[in-house]
Amino acid sequence: MSLAASAVEARPFFLTVGSHACFCMLWQPAQRPPSAGMVFVPPFAEEANRSRRTVALCARALAEKGWAVLVLDLHGCGDSSGELADADWSSWCDDVRAAEDWLRSHCGSAPWLWGLRSGCLLLAEHVQAQPAPARVIFWQPVLSGDAYLGQFLRLKVAAQALATAAEPGVRADTRALRDRLAAGETLEVAGYALTAALTDGLARARLELDPARIERLVWLEVGRTESGLMPASRKWLEGMPAERTVAEVVEGPACWQTQETTESHALIAATLSRLAEAGC
């Protein structure tokens, strides 16, 4: 996916949100004003790190076509200020709101909202609170924050099981880990410091959207095209307006999962194609 060096500007900056600052990378056309805007909300933990390459490639491709794409690091994540232990679900919702406000001012119109995995949960909560319908792109959305948290906590359960000396008196199950969080303990899981302030909000999050809040929804999953969408995704999409919704399965690596950096070019191509079909 080659680009002329002069076609796209990549501008890093910090966006002040309350008492913290979010690192942002703005991808936009270098020679002309942007024709539209898009805010990207990242997934959690290593999923954000592993997907950065594909997200950057997609943002650059969009910028070449005239978009201004704001790629956001949430409070306590990436290059944003603070530590993960300082963040909570509410502050992340504030980050999304501030990013959308900034890009709307920059472009002069309401931006599309693009989320990956747990970033889709944040976007759904944000969209539900807004007065106007939104245009949304979901990449492999998480449906249940509670189930997602349970999967993440199992990483610590596995690490305890493999340790040569288990922590005395600690049961190696996710229920025990949730109890420790509820008691006010900060847990390190796969190198990330989790607190109840953050995990309580994640556990309550659901991918719930009033169809009236959707102007346009693009839903993209990675999988086997002959198998179609996952059953849970099909069931969720039944509640969305068919005339304003498009869903597609693309083949290729799940860039947020692979240990080595991979590029999900099929996801990028499908995103560009679906936006073009929407007249963008």
Q: Same domain, yes or no, for 199 and 100?
A: no
- Tallying the residues shown for the chain, one arrives at 280
This prediction's pTM: 0.91
Q: Are 216 and 136 in contact (CB under 8 A)?
A: yes
| Element counts in the chain: helices (H) and strands (E) | 8, 10
Measured CA to CA, the distance from residue 83 to residue 254 in angstroms comes to 27
User: What would the two tokens of residue 191 be?
Assistant: 């190198």
Element (H, E) at 8: strand 8-17
Please provide the DSSP assignment of 202-233 as one string: HHH-B----GGGEEEEEEEEES-TTT-S-HHH
User: What would the two tokens of residue 153 be?
Assistant: 């906590």
Q: Same domain, yes or no, for 82 and 138?
A: yes
Asked whether residue 175 is assigned to any structural domain, the reply reads yes
Asked whether residue 232 is assigned to any structural domain, the reply reads yes
Measured CA to CA, the distance from residue 175 to residue 169 in angstroms comes to 14
Amino acid at 81: S
The total domain count for the chain is 2
Element (H, E) at 40: strand 36-41
pLDDT in tens, the chain (280 residues): 444 456 999 999 999 999 999 999 999 999 899 999 999 999 999 999 999 999 999 999 999 999 999 999 999 999 999 999 999 999 999 999 999 999 999 999 999 999 999 999 999 999 999 989 999 999 999 999 999 999 999 988 876 665 545 555 545 688 889 999 999 999 999 899 999 999 999 999 999 999 999 999 999 999 988 888 999 999 999 999 999 999 999 999 999 998 888 899 999 999 999 999 877 7
Residue 229: Cβ-neighbour burial (10 angstroms; 0-12, 13-18, 19+):
middle
Provide the residue range defining the domain that includes 184. Answer: 145-204
Please provide the DSSP assignment of 244-270 as one string: GEEEEEE-S--TTT-SS----HHHHHH
Q: Same domain, yes or no, for 92 and 180?
A: no
Measured CA to CA, the distance from residue 70 to residue 93 in angstroms comes to 16
Q: Same domain, yes or no, for 47 and 117?
A: yes
Q: Are 197 and 179 in contact (CB under 8 A)?
A: no
Q: Same domain, yes or no, for 92 and 105?
A: yes
Q: Same domain, yes or no, for 102 and 12?
A: yes
Amino acid at 123: L
Measured CA to CA, the distance from residue 202 to residue 187 in angstroms comes to 15
pLDDT in tens, 216-251: 999 999 998 888 899 999 999 999 999 999 999 999
State the Cα angle at 66 between 62 and 72, rounded to 5°: 50
End position of a domain, from candidates 164, 188, 204: 204
End position of a domain, from candidates 204, 225, 243: 204
